[in-house]
Each structure stands twice: as structure tokens, then as C-alpha cells.
Chain A
Amino acid sequence: MADNEKLEQDFNAWNAKVEKANEKYPERKKQFVTGSNASVNRVYTPLDQGDFDYRTQLGLPGEFPYTRGVQPTMYRGRFWTMRQYAGFGTAEESNARYKYLLDQGQTGLSVAFDLPTQIGYDSDHPLSEGEVGKVGVAIDSLADMEVLFDGIPLDKVSTSMTINAPAAVLLAMYIAVAEKQGVSPEALNGTIQNDILKEYIARGTYIFPPSPSMRLITDIFEFCAKQVPSWNTISISGYHIREAGSTAVQEVAFTLADGIAYVQAAIKAGLGVDDFAPRLSFFFNAHNDLFEEIAKFRAARRVWAHLMRDRFGAKNPKSWMLRFHTQTGGSTLTAQQPDNNIIRVTLQALAAVLGGTQSLHTNSRDEALALPTEEAVRIALRTQQVIAYESGSAETVDPLAGSYYIESLTDRIEKEVLTYIKRIDDLGGAVKAIEQGYVQQEIQDSAYAWQMDVEKGERIIVGLNKFQVRENAPKGLLRVDPEVGERQKRKLAALKETRDAASVEKALVSLRNAARGSDNLMAPILDAVRVYATLGEICGVLREEFGEYRPNVMF
């Protein structure tokens, strides 16, 4: 204490001197803020740490509260999984891109589905017109899934699938493809996103209302706990919340509030917290403010560990650990001078690594313009490899711990996240807060404030509102073959000719009955995909039984 008093005297004297000099040589700005508009001090010292306690606030890597990382040795054991989100056109084209990426040293797959697939429509549905194969691969049935993973041994790779409302169907298809390869469900590694709440908040590919959606999710938790024990049953996502314009604090707060809602739903469905919580995983964004982003990841781990242990009484340390995937920030990329995006992605990827991510997708420089070309994807992957092999960032665990600034940011984010969680609890939890539009409104306010700051020049985006140059239209962008839709329709028609119609009919009836009752839906869905019922047929039955979500539109 006496030390701190002395330091405080020194600090005040120093500050007075600096303020005086400031009158003559002012600093660049009156106020300095983080990427999320939080105020930043001139310098950080032990005075900013209050009653800092190393053992309770940081602890050691791999130990509660996991501020320093979920594994004891982190990247000294092995690097994070380098996982590029990819998929477009038909299953054949995407299969070729996956093989290319694996060949280039990528260590896990990440499947992007087209919008009709994500919303549970077959390629021949009227609403699919113009969208088939555009932002991801088109999957109508198990037949497409067999092609997608052709020649890729599913017991050797881990596969992440960005699929939410119809997650149960795509997981069932994955299990069925594995069966055909002779791989049992216990041997499968991977993740389904399966996070419907952030679809209502920010991403938009919802189908069913909250209640049956939560049932589908807890059915998956239960099924996987028994049959696919190494599968990450959900990836609770802040990524899209941030892309929609939230601050770093809001990203963590709303994601963890969604996490709380899933835990509560599963407990309510009769599951034991330690039976499903070890398989929960998370997905965050990484934006440009290096220090704030690093602190964000550290704070998220600490808050979740306390929530799981203290609020939900989880006993298994694996239930306390917040494991997460990171993707660099798509909304930070500029269409202007797109090569500059390589540098942005490097900073963001570094933040993810210094923040202890388990896997990482680095965006490609051309993604403000179109889906990435093969060359752009290779640079993005090489960015991760340079950080891993050349930067020295992976050689020790949590290298920035103890930085007065980093710890101060971590504490602040933790505190503000807890305030938001309390507010959402008071509103009745995440589902209620979303239905009332509270979460969406908070995000929209941040998004609008950001846009106005950029337009007023209070926030500089290099190449966009400063350092502009005259540019020619970019050449050589990736274009999805417009014939994909027709090809996919023909494949679907041929499938419907050749499959056993009676078995399909029978499987869909069983599914309908299960949906009306309370049995776990995974078994009837698996039966239906095995006989080549289509995604649209399966989701169609569930749409009829569950109804569709109607959002509360506002801006």
C-alpha cells in the first residue's frame, strides 16, 4: 500500500508536468478511444489495477478461471487449427476447394452452405431462385453430402459446419456419410454452429420460432452426448453480432447471454450440466484494435468460467472452459485499396492468437468485393502460418499477461459484460430480450454511431476516408457459375426419380409424429436422411409442425 501511495504521488506530479507541456504541444486528439469507443488513458500503471490478485484473476494456463488460456501449454503443444471457411457452387466444386486447402497445410475444414440450404429450402424452391450455390455450397440431400466429402477421410479431419436452423439435418447427413466411409459417430470431430439466438439477433437464417428451435438444439446436445461424444454441439457466436455493428463488450455480453439461455434450456430439458457443457464452444470476431481484442478474449474466458462454476454449479473443469474459434472481421475490410486488407487481417489474426484462440479463419483481401479467389485464400492462410512459425507469438503462453493496459482492459470488459448480463437477466433472459428487440436495438445504435464517426472523419479508415487513391475496377474476382442452380435442380429431379419413394414417405411421417410429441428428433431425422429425403422435405415437415419465426422489424 505504501508503495502505491508513493507511486500515486509520482504519478500526479508527472501528470501535472505533462498537462502543462500539453498546453504548448497538445496531443493528437482531445480524447483517445478504443475501436469500441471506450476511453483510453495516457498511460497505465499498477494504480489502474486496484486490488489486483494474480491467483484469482489470472491463475495459470489451463486452470480456473482460464484467463490465460484453456490449455496448460497452449501453442507450444500444437498450433491453433487453421480453418478457412469455404464453399460455393456445387458439392463437386467445394470438394475440390477443400482438397486444395488441405493440400496447402490447412488442418481443419469449414463448410459454407448456400442460403437456401441454411434456410431449409431445396434448390428448386421458388425462393432459392438466384441464390443457389452463391454464398456457399448447395446441399439438397445426402447424395450431395457424399460428393462434398468424397475422398476426405472423416476420421482424420475435423469439420466445422456453419449451419443453424437445419443443423440437426446436416449433422445427420454428416453422420450418414461417415457410416458409408466405415467411420463410426464416436470417431467424428467437428462443430455445428447450431446457434439460433444470434440468427434472430444478427444473422437472419432462422426458420422456426424460439421454443421449437431450442428443443432442436437441446435434442442435439442429448443425442451427441450419447452418440457423438467428440462433437462440438454448438458454436455460440458473437461473430455476427460484431459484424452487425456491436462493440467488443456487446459482442461478448450478448454471446454469453445466449450461452446462458442454452444452458438453462438444456437443464430444463432434463440434462445434467456436466453432460453437455464440455461440448459447448464459442465463436468470436477479431477487429483492428489489437489490445482491446486480446483483452476481450481473456475477459470472455474468465466470465464464462465463473458463470458455469458459480451460477450453474458445473463440477467438470471442461464445463468451465470457454473454447473458441475466431474469424477476422469481415466488416473491417474495405473495397478501396483491397490489398490493405491483408494488413488488417494480420493484426486481427495476431489478436486472436495472443488472445488464445483454438482455431482461426483469416479473411481474404477481396472479400469486400466477392467470394475470395484461390490466390487470396492462400495469402490469408499464409498469414496464419507466418504468425505461427515466424512471429514468436506462439512460443509462450499468454505473452501479454501482466501488461498494465491489457489487464486494465480485461477487467473493464469483464465488468461491463457482467452489467449487460444482469440487464438481460432482468429482462427475463436472452430469448425475451431478443423478442423485445432490446439486443438488436443496442447493436443498431452502435452500428449507427460507428458510421457517423467514420463520415465525420472522427474515425479514420485508411484508403476509405483518408489516403484515398483513384482506382480501377478490380479484376479477376471469383464468380459463381450462374448455371449452378439449373445443374442442382437437375440433380435433385434425378434423385427423386431413383430413390425409394415409399421409404421417404414413411420416414417423413415418423418425423412428423416425433415433432408433435416430445421424443428426441435426431433419430427420425437420421432415418429420413439415410433414405434420401431432402433437406427441404425434412424442414418442410418441421415448418408445418412448428410454424415460422416472424421477426419484429425495426431500425
Chain B
Amino acid sequence: MERKIRVLVAKPGLDGHDRGAKVIARALRDAGMEVIYTGLRQTPEQIVSAAIQEDVDVIAMSILSGAHNHLFPRVVELLKEQGVDDVLVFGGGVIPEEDIPFLKSKGVAEVFGPGTPTSKTIDFIKTNLKRTLS
């Protein structure tokens, strides 16, 4: 039997808008995944350490403050420093489209903007996992 996909939903930075993060967390759980939500104000270091400790397959980050160009790449960098290269990292929030190529070049697999249906995020995770579930 396949095991469940494990996801860390994370809020990097200082913004307190976590409606989206919580809705996503719940939708992923309803889709049969195991979900851990970090809560607000997480540093990239805290996110990476939680991801390793919880042995997750996916890190899903949400940010609405505009600090994404600084914080998203930092998470990918720290994962690499820890020798982790099989965790799918993506993000969402209020992020201008013109920033997306930069974020992808830094190893953020996808960036979802406002209005994205949760079903799209679920499909994205299922088709882009880097680890096997068996």
C-alpha cells in the first residue's frame, strides 16, 4: 500500500495573513495527505528544520507581504545545504507574475496566485512529487 503524502504548510516572514495557508492545509488533508502547519512568523531556518524533522515530501509556503524574493529562495538554499534534494518546494500568495521566473530559477517549483483552486494545487503535488510513495 502507498503511504500518505506528507506536507509542511509554512508561513515564512512576518505577515499574519494565513487564511490561504489554512484553507490549503485543510484541502490537502481532505485529499488524504498528512499535513503539518507551522503557524505564523517562521524563519527559513525554522521551516527547513521542521521539514527535516517531520520528514515531509512537500513544503508549501504562503506569503503576502512582498518578502517572497528573499524568503522563498532561502528555504531552497538551506535545504540544499542540509543535503536534502528530494523535497518538492512551492509557494503562493500575493506575488507579481514578473517575479515568478526568478523564483523558479532559484528552485521554487511553482508559484500559485490568488484565485487558484485547491484542486489545482492538489494535482500539482501529486504529479510533481520527487519521492516515491511505496
Contact = CB atoms under 8 A, between A and B. Distances in A.
Interface string B72-91: 00000000000000000000
Interface in B45-59: none
Contact of A127 (B19, B43, B96, B115): B43
B13 A370 contact: no
A135 interface: yes
Contact of A204 (B9, B18, B37): B18
Given A369-B94, A444-B22, A204 B16 contact: yes
B37 A553 contact: yes
Contact of B38 (A203, A369, A464, A553): A553
A477 interface: yes
B14 A115 contact: yes
A128 B21 CA distance: 21
Interface string B6-37: 00010001111111011101110100000101
B128 interface: no
Interface string A187-208: 0000000000001001111000
State which size class the interface on A falls in: 35 or more
A368 B94 contact: yes
Contacts of A473: 96-98
Interface stretch (A329-337, A409-417, A421-429): A329-337
A119 interface: yes
Contact of B14 (A119, A243, A370, A477): A119
B66 A135 contact: yes
Contacts of B15: 115, 135, 204
B118 A131 contact: no
Given A205-B16, A244-B19, A553-B39, A131 B25 contact: no
A135 B65 contact: yes
Nearest to A444: B22
Contacts of A333: 114
A129 B19 contact: no
A472 to B, nearest CB: 9
Nearest to B13: A131
Contact of A369 (B39, B96, B117): B96
A65 interface: no
A14 interface: no
Contacts of B70: 129-130
Nearest to B28: A555
Given A551-B39, A553-B37, A455 B119 contact: yes
Contacts of B67: 130-131, 134
B129 interface: no
Contacts of B65: 115, 131, 134-135
A451 interface: yes
Given A127-B41, A369-B96, A473-B98, A555 B114 contact: no
Contacts of A147: none
A451 B14 contact: no
A259 B118 CA distance: 35
A204 B22 contact: no
Contacts of A482: 69
Given A115-B65, A118-B14, A135-B66, 4 more contacts: A204-B41, A368-B115, A451-B23, A480-B66
Interface of B: 9, 13-19, 21-23, 25-27, 29, 35, 37-41, 43, 65-67, 69-71, 94, 96-98, 113-115, 117-119
